[in-house]
Amino acid sequence: MTTAESTIILGTYGYSPGLEGVPAGETAICQLDEGGAGLRYRGYAIGDLAARATFEEVAYLLLRGTLPTKSELKDFSSELASLAVLPDRILAFLATVPRDTHPMDLLRTAVSWLGLLDREPRHPLREAQLRASIALLTQIPLVIGTAHRLAMGDGVVTWDPGMGFAENLLSFLTGQKGDGRARAMARALEVSLILYAEHEFNASTFSARVTASTMTDLHSAVTAAIGTLKGPLHGGANEAVAEMFVSIGNPNLAEAWVKSALAEKRRIMGFGHRVLKQGDVRSDIIQREAERLSDLCGERRWYDIARAVDLAVRRERGLHPNLDFYTAVVYLLMGIPRVLYTPVFVCSRIAGWCAHIIEQQEHNRLIRPRALYKGPAPEAYVELDDRR
């Protein structure tokens, strides 16, 4: 096919670099309004879920399609606790991995290994996939928490069935639990997990669906998603935002820092979104949590720096903060190590990934797009001895 023929054929469908704005499939999981106000998980507004639901309820909603009743939620929480165990081979792997290993590399390998050890049927039976998904909901926090504790010279972490998902995760990463301050932090963490849990066909979710469309196993598709999220253009933004706040150090220096960064054409992380051009409703929700937690902790420095940067960037460039921006304030206040911010993202988004993997395979069509050829014109083959 010549370049001209390729252009004609693909021109029928239109071409958008990076597939920006191109519908690539159907889903009943997430509705994303480009105006930013209409984000819904299976019909439920994100604002209502963040304000009134637990992460367990949201995970159940994404995976099973409905909000749970009290008895269903109790059974689901019990199932999470019963599956919250790491095989001995995974524990041995975590104990021997080099201490300077990036947590996302470690997590990618651990999930692949969990797939190797998974004894569920190797075909897309819905209940088998759901059980594997629910197991990953607890196994991933256990991998992250155990690796973190071992790196600090401590022992493995264990799931406390008497605490909720966010409380367990906070305990794994910071050691905080039990008192009123820890419960307030756990609730702020829970809100962030709910907000991060799902966001339509983002890069990692689309990667998972492409992989799932070959009818491979769930763990392979999740491993692909983790590898995609590791890239700094997708995951890691809240970590970069936190580093920016630490670098600025003082709210009074924020405006000058922003102007200097813009003059030097440095990217200011935590602003803008490929789809949400007019603002991100999730940012407004997590901003309120950041301010509330700052006041509760008696530490407003990070929030005040964030607010000053936010106002300066809006004034200078008209850009809106995304979810990652004020989430960095919340995680700084909790004392979560910055290198673990993206793995925490995985603890949340795994619910959305698995829901999409199951949906893709239940209504599957192999995802195989076309490319717009831009290479050389047709050439006649030249024998080796005749080439010059």
148 is catalytic: no
The one catalytic residue among 219, 273, 320, 356: 273
> What is the 3-state secondary structure of 76-118?
HHHHHHHHCCCCHHHHHHHHHCCCCCCHHHHHHHHHHHHHHHC
Are 162 and 129 within 8 A, CB to CB? no
33 is catalytic: no
Cα separation, 310 vs 290, in Å, equals: 14
Are 328 and 238 within 8 A, CB to CB? yes
The one catalytic residue among 280, 304, 310, 324: 324
Scanning the chain, the segments in alpha helix (DSSP H) are: 3-11, 46-52, 55-64, 70-83, 88-96, 103-117, 126-151, 165-174, 180-196, 203-212, 218-229, 237-248, 254-263, 281-297, 301-317, 323-334, 341-362
Residue 385, CB half-sphere, CA atoms under 13 Å: how many?
Answer: 0
Cα separation, 170 vs 335, in Å, equals: 10
Catalytic residue ranges: 273, 324
